[in-house]
Amino acid sequence: MSHITAPQSVALTAKLRQTLGQIRPAHVVVTLVLFIGAWLMIFPYIWMVSSSLKPAAEVYDADFSIIPKTFAGVKNYSDVLFGQPYPRFMLNSLIVCVGILAVQLLTAVPAAYALAKFRFRGSAILLGTVIACLTIPINVTSIPIYLGLVKVGLLDTYMSMMFPFFVSVFAIFLFRQFFRGFPDSIIDAARVDGMTEIEIVLRLILPAALPAIAAFSVFSFVSHWNDLYWPLIVVQSQDKMTATLSMMQYQSEFDTNYGRSFAAATVVTIPMLLVFLFARRAFIRGITMSGVKG
C-alpha cells in the first residue's frame, strides 16, 4: 500500500510546486495592471448608468457613490422615453440603418460575385475604382452630395440620410475576396445542372458567404447607428432626428438635467451594447477581415 501511495504523493507535490512556480511576481503585477486598465475602460459605463438613476442634484455630489442615494431612475427614464420623442429617434435610427444595410447588400453581393467569377470588359477598371474608393471617407464628398440633395429637395428625408451609403465599396471588396475562394468547379457543376446565375448566387454563394455577410452587416449597422457627421448635415427637424444626433441637444440642456441626460445617453447606447453582447464575434471578424486587405 505504502509503495503505491508514495509516487502519487510525489507527483502531487510536484504538480503543486509546478502550479506555485507558475505564479511569478511579474505575472501578478501585469495581471493587476490589466485589471486596473479594465476598470478604467468600464468605469464610464458604470458612472453613466449610476448617474442616470440619480436626481439632477446628486450627479455631481461631492461624495460620489455608485449606488444612488435617492433613486430617480424611474422618473429619468420615463422622462426620456415618454416625455421626449426617444422612441421616435430610435425608430429613425433603426429605419436608416436597416435601409442602408438592405441596399448595400442588394448592390454589393451581385457586383462582388460578377467581379469575382466573371471576366468582362471593364471589370479591371471597376475593381480598381472600388479599391481606390475604399480610402475616400464621406467627409470628402459631403459637400457635393449635400448640394445635390438640396437641388432635388430631399433634405431632411430618410432618403437623404441613407443615400450616400447605398453602395459600400468595402462590402464589394470584402465579398469579392470571399467569393473568389468559392470553387469554380461547383459553379460549373451548377450551370451544368441547369441553375441560372441568380439561382447560383442565391442557393450556393450566399449560404457559403454567410459569415462574411453577417460580419459586414454588424459592422455596417454599428457604424451607421453611431454616425454623427452625416445626420448633423442633412437632418433639420425633430421628426427625422436619429438617436445619436439627439445627443447634440443635450449640450444645451446639460447644466440642468443631468440625470435625464445620462438616462438618454444610456438609452442610445443600449442597442450597441446588445450588438456587443450578441454579435461581438461577427464584428471582430469584420475588423480583422478589413485588416487582411492590407
Partner 1 sequence: MSVRTTFERRQNRIAYAFVAPATLLIVLIYLAPMAMVALTSFTDYTLVSDYWEWVGFDNYRQMLADPAVSNAVRNTFVYAALFLPGAFIIPLLLAIAIQERKQFRSILELVYFLPVTSTLAAMALVWAGLMDSRQGVINAALGWFGLGPLNFLGDPGTVLFALAGISLWSVIGFNMVLFLAGLTAIPRSLYEAAAIDGADHPVDQFFRVTWPMLAPTSVFVAVTSSITAFKLFDTVAILTKGKPDHASEVFLYLTFLEGFEYFNMGYASALSVVFLGVIFIFAAVQTFWADRQTHS
Burial class of 41 by CB neighbour count within 10 A (0 to 12, 13 to 18, 19+): exposed
Minimum CB–partner distance for residue 101 and partner 1 (Å):
14
Minimum CB–partner distance for residue 85 and partner 1 (Å):
17
Report the residue number, 216 or 225, with the smaller CB distance to partner 1: 225
Report the residue number, 1 or 41, with the smaller CB distance to partner 1: 41
Report the residue number, 107 or 177, with the smaller CB distance to partner 1: 107
Q: Is 278 left (phi over 0), alpha (psi -120 to 50) or beta?
A: alpha
Report the residue number, 10 or 273, with the smaller CB distance to partner 1: 273
Report the residue number, 14 or 287, with the smaller CB distance to partner 1: 287
Minimum CB–partner distance for residue 74 and partner 1 (Å):
21
In angstroms, rounded to a whole number, what is the distance separating the alpha carbons of residues 280 and 288?
Answer: 12
Assess contact for 262 and 75: CB atoms under 8 A: no
Report the residue number, 98 or 249, with the smaller CB distance to partner 1: 249
Residue 56: how many CB atoms within 10 A of its CB? 16
Residue 38: how many CB atoms within 10 A of its CB? 10
Phi, psi of 78 (to 5 degrees): -70, -30
Minimum CB–partner distance for residue 246 and partner 1 (Å):
9
Q: Which residues contact 155 (CB under 8 A, 6 or more apart)?
A: 149, 234, 236
CA–chain centroid gap for 13, Å, is: 49
Minimum CB–partner distance for residue 218 and partner 1 (Å):
9
CA–chain centroid gap for 217, Å, is: 9
Residue with cell 462582388: 112
Report the residue number, 5 or 70, with the smaller CB distance to partner 1: 70
Return the C-alpha cell found at 95.
Answer: 429605419
Q: Which of 246, 271, 266, 268 lies closest to 54 in space, CA to CA?
A: 266
Minimum CB–partner distance for residue 10 and partner 1 (Å):
25
Minimum CB–partner distance for residue 17 and partner 1 (Å):
18
Minimum CB–partner distance for residue 258 and partner 1 (Å):
7
In angstroms, rounded to a whole number, what is the distance separating the alpha carbons of residues 170 and 134?
Answer: 6
**Greatest distance between any 2 Cα atoms in the chain:** 95
Q: Which residues contact 47 (CB under 8 A, 6 or more apart)?
A: 66
In angstroms, rounded to a whole number, what is the distance separating the alpha carbons of residues 202 and 47?
Answer: 47
Report the residue number, 21 or 44, with the smaller CB distance to partner 1: 44
